[in-house]
Amino acid sequence: MILTGRSRLAGVLGWPVAHSRSPRLHGYWLDQHAIDGAYVPLPTAPEDLVDCVRALPRLGFMGANVTVPHKQGVLAACDRLDDHARRLGAVNTLVFDGPTIEGRNTDGVGFLNNLYQRAPNWGPAAGPAVVLGAGGAARAVVIALADAGVPEIRLANRTRTKADTLAAQLDGPVTVIDWDEKTAALEGANLLVNTTSLGMIGHGALEIDLTPLPPHALVNDIVYQPLETDLLARARARGNPVVDGIGMLLHQAVPGFAAWFGVRPEVTETLRDFVLQD
């Protein structure tokens, strides 16, 4: 690490934030490019969020990432939003231009770039996508897929009303499917994405029969703890191409790093291995 009185500063706002892999990720890029800068954890209680964010530009910070539970709360501190943050109603990246605070959202870009890198033969226009879940991550995924040209998005959530609400709010080719019909929805699909917590360590299993899924269909789980979920293991065993979730974390970080530190970093196998180390 190189630090001087001219160091560029950034960090990650969360509560708690000790679990975040972002300091390790950005620290790797800072060292790789010999940048005079630092990226630090910024544990921030919800009631202090707006005041803390507005203080950061005065302390010399170039910006920050935003993680749970602050992605919506931080909107109140932003002077302007990019198109993705406005459509999602959530911010994961802050960029400071003098005292002006801009909120951005790079989750959709990170999701798509992960697929493009790990599954170069996949194309969004080749067929329908099935998306499981209707939370914030699902919203980012659905918007990204619609913008990329996916012709049909079949959306299923354990609470159907949440999926109905999400579909009504989005301008895209979204069809809501009952949770009990998610297996049948796999027929003819080109992509299956799990955005729920099912399959994550400490959560229940995702119960879905993959039999109707075409053998060429790509399967992605945005969960990365464990890195290979039961869904991915079963899909791989039957011959489907699979993409794990850690790449979404890595790719969504690229635009922020470029804005804060002036270098556009690359997502490599060495970086993946480094970030995954305990």
Q: Is 107 within any annotated ligand binding site?
A: yes
Q: Is 246 within any annotated ligand binding site?
A: no
Q: Is 149 within any annotated ligand binding site?
A: no
Question: CB-based contacts of 271: which residues, under 8 Å, 6+ apart?
Answer: 25, 28, 29, 250
> What amino acid positions are annotated as catalytic residues?
71
CA–CA distance, 23 with 60 (Å, rounded to integer): 18
CA–CA distance, 90 with 7 (Å, rounded to integer): 29
Residue 209 DSSP SS3: coil
Q: Is 64 within any annotated ligand binding site?
A: no
Q: Is 276 exposed, middle or buried (0-12, 13-18, 19+ CB in 10 A)?
A: middle
Q: Is 134 within any annotated ligand binding site?
A: yes
Q: Is 161 within any annotated ligand binding site?
A: yes
Please state the three-class secondary structure of 143-208 as a single string. HHHHHHCCCCEEEECCCHHHHHHHHHHCCCCEEEECHHHCCHHHCCCCEEEECCCCCCCCCCCCCC
- Work out the angle at residue 211's Cα, subtended by the Cα atoms of residues 209 and 217, and round it to the nearest 5 degrees: 105
Q: Is 159 within any annotated ligand binding site?
A: yes
Q: Is 28 within any annotated ligand binding site?
A: no
Q: Is 39 within any annotated ligand binding site?
A: no
Q: Is 114 within any annotated ligand binding site?
A: no
CA–CA distance, 251 with 133 (Å, rounded to integer): 21
Q: Is 77 within any annotated ligand binding site?
A: no
Annotated binding site: 20-22, 67, 83, 92, 107, 133-137, 157-162, 222, 224, 245, 252
Annotated binding site for NADP(+): 83, 133-137, 157-162, 222, 245
Annotated binding site for shikimate: 20-22, 67, 92, 107, 224, 252
